[in-house]
């Protein structure tokens, strides 16, 4: 049914010490147990949900147990099937391993171009990555009530795409993604630029306190491509996160240890210097401005500097929502500062006017929802700010019509509850039945509370 013994696209060997790199097995490498050969694979069964394959190879090394990670991926790295480690049995023997590849995330039609096999001692680093040319189209899984557009959006999961490629240290594909997603039409199912997930990808490492792994990754990426916008921006974000790690997101910033403040400022300066040094090749990406704007606001640069930086970014990237959201932080009560809600409302109206021809009124919702995510529970966006529920409701209606994702629908329902709008809540509530996303509901406005407020219970 399918061709077997497909040609090898790429084979790379790495020694555990980094001293051995070749397209073939090198005699005299420091680790003799690495003599693993992947000879061929064949497809034995396909379904819309999975593909069963068999992999032939041999292992002539020591008694160390070897594992194989097997997955399929697209040429640009945006589509990838799920894969797990498989133990290879005994040394000095040929092996044939059966593997079920699970379809990539999402129900839409998708294509993967390569079968990738990674070899490593179980629990240790990869020393062989072997890639076979294997174009395969995963068929669409029909879902009742879903449009083609929504199927395509649900097939895209930029966060996982970035994490997988970061874990693979596939810097070539990360650079391709950084360029491809630098496009206002490249949105995820919520309507956000996929590009912004690059910051989330690095935060995945830093939130787990894997600081050494994160900085090692940025250094490798920088060595791979010294003019990579992604590498520079990710490295700046590393130092930005590392600065907040030692200072802590405090409620009363006057209580921060003076040593923590000192190191915080040093690390923020380092992040800023990376951005300054990379401006010539990295500022063609809105993430550069988003990162610099956050640094400038959180290190309390003067108003003129912050405004000029924002204006420069918006001239180049007027449709990048996060620039407006981050700029709004300048006037909101974060970390104990006094708010200027008039400035926030002016910014929200400015953003809508600037982008209404392409994005409708979406930016009004993006700004106020973004602010709410930063506020403490004692701050109420409807009581404290100048937000207009009439405008916000219209903006959320516009957003959920364009991008009817579960997350956006939950957001709409949660804000309708907080605004006391029973009509809007009851209209949207059936659409999220059985599809609640808890992170969209503040603890003081849970969906349980909102249901009891607006729905009748016996």
Residue 133 and residue 8: Cα distance in Å, rounded?
7
Domains defined along the chain, listed by start: 8-147 (2.60.40.10), 156-317 (1.25.40)
Identify the CA nearest to 335 among candidates 275, 414, 409, 251.
251
Q: Which structure tokens are listed for 178?
A: 């950084």
* Helix or strand (DSSP H, E) at 270: helix 258-282
What pLDDT shows up at residue 150? 44
Return per-residue pLDDT of the chain as tens, 458 residues.
333 333 333 333 332 223 222 222 222 333 434 578 888 899 999 998 899 999 888 877 665 677 888 889 888 777 888 766 566 655 557 888 888 898 887 777 889 999 998 888 877 777 888 889 999 999 988 654 444 444 444 445 687 788 888 878 889 889 998 999 999 999 998 999 999 888 776 666 666 677 888 888 889 999 999 999 999 999 999 999 899 988 877 645 667 788 988 999 999 999 999 999 999 999 999 999 999 999 999 999 999 999 999 999 999 999 999 999 999 999 987 755 678 999 999 999 999 999 999 999 999 999 999 998 888 777 788 998 999 999 999 999 999 999 999 999 999 999 999 999 999 999 999 999 999 998 899 888 899 999 999 987 64
Identify the CA nearest to 106 among candidates 137, 144, 140, 75.
140
Q: Which structure tokens are listed for 138?
A: 């995963």
Cα dihedral across residues 278, 167, 6, 108: positive or negative: negative
What pLDDT shows up at residue 407? 93
* Helix or strand (DSSP H, E) at 98: strand 93-102
Q: How far is CA 68 from the centre of its chain?
A: 26
Q: Which structure tokens are listed for 398?
A: 């516009």
pTM: 0.79
Considering all CA atoms of the chain, what is the largest pairwise distance in Å, rounded to the nearest integer? 78
**Going by DSSP bridges, is the β-strand pair 93-102/50-59 parallel, antiparallel, or unpaired?**
antiparallel
End-to-end CA distance of the chain: 60
Q: What angle (nearest 5°) sits at the alpha carbon of residue 298, between those of residues 293 and 300?
A: 95
What pLDDT shows up at residue 29? 37
**HEC string for 109-163:** CEEEEEEEEEEEECCCCCCEEEEEEEEEEECCCCCCCCCHHHHHHHCCCHHHHHH
**Going by DSSP bridges, is the β-strand pair 110-121/128-138 parallel, antiparallel, or unpaired?**
antiparallel
Residue 296 and residue 186: Cα distance in Å, rounded?
27
Residue 87 and residue 318: Cα distance in Å, rounded?
51
326: number of CA atoms within 13 Å, CB side? Answer: 25
Task: Determine if residue 106 is left, alpha or beta; phi over 0 gives left, psi from -120 to 50 gives alpha, anything else beta.
Answer: left
Residue 115 and residue 125: Cα distance in Å, rounded?
19
> What pairs with residue 124 in β-bridges?
none
The arrangement of strands across the sheet holding 36-46 comes to 36-46, 50-59, 93-102
Q: Is there a contact between 57 and 36 (Cβ–Cβ < 8 Å)? A: yes
Q: Is there a contact between 64 and 98 (Cβ–Cβ < 8 Å)? A: no
């Amino acid at each position: 049914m399918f061709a077997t013994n497909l040609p090898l696209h790429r084979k790379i060997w790495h020694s555990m010490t980094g001293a051995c790199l070749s397209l073939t097995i090198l005699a005299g490498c420091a680790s003799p147990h690495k003599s693993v050969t992947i000879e061929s694979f064949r497809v034995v069964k396909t379904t819309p949900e999975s593909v069963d394959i068999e992999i032939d190879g041999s292992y002539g090394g020591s008694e160390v147990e070897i594992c194989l990670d097997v997955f399929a991926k697209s040429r640009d790295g945006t589509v990838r099937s799920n894969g797990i480690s498989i133990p290879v049995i005994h040394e000095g023997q040929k092996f044939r391993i059966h593997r079920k590849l699970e379809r990539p995330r999402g129900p839409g039609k998708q294509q993967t171009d390569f079968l990738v096999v990674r070899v490593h001692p179980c629990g240790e680093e990869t020393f062989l990555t072997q890639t076979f040319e294997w174009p395969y189209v995963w068929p669409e899984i029909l879902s009742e009530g879903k449009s083609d557009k929504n199927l395509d959006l649900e097939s895209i999961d930029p966060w996982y795409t970035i994490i997988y490629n970061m874990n693979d240290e596939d810097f070539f594909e990360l650079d391709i993604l950084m360029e491809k997603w630098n496009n206002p039409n490249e949105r995820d199912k919520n309507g956000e630029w996929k590009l912004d997930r690059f910051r989330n990808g690095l935060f995945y490492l830093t939130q787990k306190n894997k600081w050494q792994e994160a900085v090692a990754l940025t250094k490798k990426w920088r060595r791979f491509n010294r003019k990579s916008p992604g590498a520079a921006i990710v490295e700046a974000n590393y130092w930005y996160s590392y600065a907040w790690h030692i200072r802590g997101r405090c409620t009363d910033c006057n209580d921060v240890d003076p040593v923590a403040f000192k190191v915080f400022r040093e690390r923020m300066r380092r992040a800023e210097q990376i951005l300054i040094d990379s401006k010539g090749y990295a500022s063609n990406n809105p993430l550069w401005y988003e990162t610099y704007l956050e640094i400038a606001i959180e290190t309390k640069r003067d108003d003129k500097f912050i405004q000029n930086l924002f204006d420069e970014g918006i001239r180049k990237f007027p449709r990048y929502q996060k620039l407006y959201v981050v700029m709004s932080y300048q006037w909101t009560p974060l970390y104990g500062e006094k708010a200027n809600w008039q400035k926030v409302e002016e910014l929200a109206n400015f953003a809508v006017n600037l982008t209404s021809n392409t994005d409708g009124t979406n930016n009004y919702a993006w700004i106020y929802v973004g602010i709410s995510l930063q506020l403490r529970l004692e701050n109420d966006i409807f009581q404290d700010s100048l937000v207009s529920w009439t405008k916000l409701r219209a903006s959320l209606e516009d957003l959920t019509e364009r991008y009817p994702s579960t997350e956006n629908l939950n957001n709409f329902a949660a804000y309708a509850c907080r605004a006391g709008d029973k009509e809007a809540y009851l209209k949207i509530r059936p659409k999220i039945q059985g599809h609640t996303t808890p992170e969209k509901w503040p603890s003081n406005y849970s969906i349980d509370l909102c249901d009891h407020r607006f729905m009748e219970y016996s």
